[in-house]
Structure 1
Amino acid sequence: MQKFLTPRMNPLRRVLRHWSKPICLMATVGLLGLASEPASSQNLFAPAIQINQEVITRFELQQRELFLEVLRFPGNPTEVARKGLIEDRLRQQAMKEAGFEVPPEGIQQGIDQFASQGNMSPEEFIQALGQAGISEETVRDFIEVQLGWRDYISARFLSRARPTDAEIDRALGRGSGGGIRVLLSEVIIPVTPQTVDQVDEVAQQIASLKTYDDFSQAAAQFSASDTRNNGGRMNWLAISSLPPALQPLILALNPGEITDPIALPNAVALFQMRGIQEIATGTPRYSSIEYATYFLAGGRSAEALSAAGQIARSIDTCDDLYGVAKGQPETVLDRVTAKPSEIPQDIALELAKLDPGETSTALTRNNGQTLVLLMLCNRTADLAQDASREEIANALTQQRLQSFAESLLAQLKADAQITEK
């Protein structure tokens, strides 16, 4: 898995990286072109592929392929470039036939958002792309097709994509319809101030993986969670047991898809969906969760992990930790009772995997210098709603819009006349 270790990311690549996931979700692989090495002028703009009545030139293919290579985009650059450009043309043709256009101010807003991802002004962003050989017109055309397709799909299918109240209740684990449970794999990568750039790069490459096996290999190499010994594979979890902020992100995944990297205290998390099921009986919800954290110096050193393991084997309940902490500063042990929505996200995620009396050593504090021995004490059942109904509704809507978009694109491709020159 050393293939994930690559040089530090520059600002321009960081900008493009932030757009890669939404593009993949709503538009498969639609990427802007990058100017390539000089080519023979008589062949540069010769048609390479005809799609219905429109063509893709060799120059466009050359730009797209080089751009994919620069970003180290997964897959064969030639094949991915060809596929992406064909799909872009099909999207443009569908929007043109429907009379759908993106107003100039919408394109400018897209450029502004694009630039802001890398802490750049729009002018700096355009200039940086120009230095790489990309014209402003190319940038605007790219953003226009991406934003246009997103808005076109929303305008065409939104009324059919909105979930009913009953469907939202099921997703929340309420009502007679039961709830939803998910089967996930995880990668939890520790972060220190010295490793933040490297971890950011590794996490982005893991987010681009396409197979379950590759994700499992990444978990085995990089994850700090106990699940790394099982390729990152977790057991079935009720969606309501996950941190409220994480639930919409998970519900938006289709099997095989991976979340964007999620920032946690001293760590970055990624999740891959392996399965999702609606269950007949309601899933329990909790008004409060009680847990204890015992802090050990040394971070994830072998000594600290060994000491934490010995403590974990010697205790059965949270009360036993008071004996372990006896004679030490009060700050070494913290016992908390809180609403699920008030628990730090990294702690909430680990607690979701535990039964009362079980422990985890996946977390750190103090910039990775302090190891956390986390123990679940108790959960108090309640039917109170933690996740926002609006968040769940939006996640379900986006998931369905994505499905409509993929189906429409597949239909357009099946009906099109595509000829290689």
Structure 2
Amino acid sequence: MTEALRNRTAPALRVAAIGLVLWGGAMAAPAAAQDGSLFAPRMVINGQTITNFEVEQRMLFLRALRAPGDPEKEAIKALMRDRLGAQAAEDAGITVTAEQVSEGLEEFASRANMTAEQFTAALADEGVAPETFRDFVANGLLWREVVRSKFGPQIRISEAQIDRALAENAKKTQIRILLSELILPIQGDDVTPALDQARAIKAEAAGDGFAAAAREFSAAPSAARGGRLDWLEVTNLPPAIVSQVLTLSPGEVSDPIVVPQAVVLFQLNGISDVESAMPAQVEVEYAQFALPPNLDPATIRAQVDGCGDLYPLARGLPPEQLRLTTQMMGAVPQDIGLELAKLDVGEFVLRQRAGYTELLMLCLRTGVPETDPAAAAQVPVTTEEAEAVEGEEAEATPLVDREALRNRLGNAQLTAMAEAYMEELRSEAIIEER
């Protein structure tokens, strides 16, 4: 998949990862290596087989979508969920039509601004069979229908629950985390050697061993400090990385996280929270400048205080060498988001790309707060609007959509019920690993 297609595909992954409960190779495949046959059983769930080929295909699918975590672990976990969900659908007499699956393919692909045909072709460039994408969507639709049928009638959100949620939104907790990082670069297109090395380091680098491993193996500038980073606000980090590290206990090391051109391990050193007015989301503007060979980084440090100072340095160069991007943090590629989280506005880091050095600078970081109900009476109006209502009481425009909030709370309840049900199915299943 080209880099452009990778970037367009990343948002689909983030949505799929967040909503996986309701939705549901070339990478070397350790699964296939176990007995030499791609179509040999890797796992049997209630008598139904998951083959090595399916595991390899799901690994390739997750890799193409830049999924966080260990690809093999995540592939096996996702396929297990698929089987259990499909079995629950069969028991309940629930099916989906070919038309529903086609619509699901189009809807999923649209999240990456593609048609289903374009998305399937982009996946094929990564070795992912069309059936793998279709099965992923079909199983997700089946599970969604199972959850809706079983739990949908139970969801009732009262006005009091909405009021409590609005009150809680006014008391956001600011969470900061203290991390150490270990970054292993990927050589070429084969991620397997770096993944294997990361797994070996994780197995041996508990406690203080992580710092020693970071000094020895990490390619990040933080290696000299044993990988230790300063305190980071979680809202400034990519959500996929946050979801990985917030599940850790102090001293614990994350599963390997595959990001563009690297595999990353994190160790959680500390976590703190303070009640404060926190933005619900963060928007960032950042610059990527492919430095010409004759431009000394020391000169840049002396002359550049912000992104606007990069334009004179890029004068006469092809336009694509200097790119400014504005995105919500959830849409920023994970490798870039991790670097931006460490920077203040106007600071930059130099990154080695394929054949050139890239300057990555944070231009602006903006908090996007949740709607404040108290501000409803303070909506600014234009002069024309003011004249139109002169002598009359202006009708207040509510800034809080209570029905939208009701839907969000209902979806949260549905997700929690679905997770509990999936855990129940897993605990009752007969699972054989080969």
Q: Which residue of 180, 184, 208 corresponds with 2:174?
A: 184
Q: Which residue of 404, 407, 416 corresponds with 2:420?
A: 407
Q: Distance in 1 between matches of 2:41 and 2:53?
A: 9
Please state how far the C-alpha of 1:11 moved relative to its aligned partner: 1.2
Q: Distance in 1 between matches of 2:158 and 2:373?
A: 29
Q: Distance in 2 between matches of 1:59 and 1:22?
A: 22
In structure 2, what residue type is equivalent to 1:203? P
Q: Does the CA-based 8 Å contact 1:34-1:133 persist in structure 2?
A: yes
Where does 1:22-37 land on structure 2 (aligned, <5 Å)? 22-27=16-21
Match of 1:292 in 2: none
In structure 2, what residue type is equivalent to 1:133? G
Match of 1:256 in 2: none
In structure 1, what residue type is equivalent to 2:87? Q
Q: Does the CA-based 8 Å contact 2:285-2:363 persist in structure 1?
A: no
Q: Deviations over 1:102-157 (max 9, x none)?
A: 22222222222222233323222222222322222221111111122123212321
Q: Distance in 2 between matches of 1:9 and 1:232?
A: 35
| Alpha-carbon distance change, 13 to 58 in structure 1, aligned in 2, over 3 angstroms | farther
Please state how far the C-alpha of 1:389 moved relative to its aligned partner: 0.3
Please state how far the C-alpha of 1:370 moved relative to its aligned partner: 8.5
Q: Distance in 2 between matches of 1:43 and 1:209?
A: 32
How large is the RMSD of aligned CA atoms in angstroms?
Answer: 4.9
| Alpha-carbon distance change, 184 to 400 in structure 1, aligned in 2, over 3 angstroms | farther
Q: Distance in 2 between matches of 1:104 and 1:416?
A: 28
Q: Distance in 2 between matches of 1:77 and 1:93?
A: 24
Where does 1:161-172 land on structure 2 (aligned, <5 Å)? 161-172=155-166
| Alpha-carbon distance change, 179 to 35 in structure 1, aligned in 2, over 3 angstroms | closer
Q: Which residue of 115, 124, 129 corresponds with 1:130?
A: 124
Where does 1:3-402 land on structure 2 (aligned, <5 Å)? 9-12=3-6, 14-27=8-21, 43-69=37-63, 73-173=67-167, 181-185=171-175, 203=238, 206-207=241-242, 209-211=244-246, 235-237=274-276, 246=280, 262=281, 264=283, 266=285, 299=306, 386-402=399-415
Q: Distance in 2 between matches of 1:138 and 1:97?
A: 23
**Match of 1:56, SS?**
strand
| Alpha-carbon distance change, 207 to 108 in structure 1, aligned in 2, over 3 angstroms | farther
| Alpha-carbon distance change, 76 to 22 in structure 1, aligned in 2, over 3 angstroms | closer
Please state how far the C-alpha of 1:70 moved relative to its aligned partner: 5.4
**Match of 1:107, SS?**
helix
Q: Distance in 1 between matches of 2:158 and 2:44?
A: 43
TM-score by length of 2: 0.50
**Match of 2:244, SS?**
coil
Q: Does the CA-based 8 Å contact 2:46-2:431 persist in structure 1?
A: yes
TM-score by length of 1: 0.52
Q: Percent identity?
A: 31
In structure 2, what residue type is equivalent to 1:149? W
| Alpha-carbon distance change, 265 to 11 in structure 1, aligned in 2, over 3 angstroms | same
| Alpha-carbon distance change, 13 to 47 in structure 1, aligned in 2, over 3 angstroms | farther
Q: Distance in 2 between matches of 1:153 and 1:383?
A: 37
| Alpha-carbon distance change, 36 to 141 in structure 1, aligned in 2, over 3 angstroms | farther
Q: Distance in 2 between matches of 1:79 and 1:373?
A: 35
Q: Distance in 2 between matches of 1:112 and 1:9?
A: 22
Q: Does the CA-based 8 Å contact 2:6-2:65 persist in structure 1?
A: no
Please state how far the C-alpha of 1:266 moved relative to its aligned partner: 3.2
Match of 2:294 in 1: none
In structure 2, what residue type is equivalent to 1:398? N
Q: Distance in 2 between matches of 1:55 and 1:139?
A: 19
Q: Does the CA-based 8 Å contact 2:11-2:112 persist in structure 1?
A: no
Unaligned regions of 5+ residues in structure 2, if any? 178-236, 251-268, 288-303, 309-327, 330-343, 347-360, 378-397
Q: Distance in 2 between matches of 1:232 and 1:156?
A: 38
Match of 1:254 in 2: none
In structure 1, what residue type is equivalent to 2:244? L
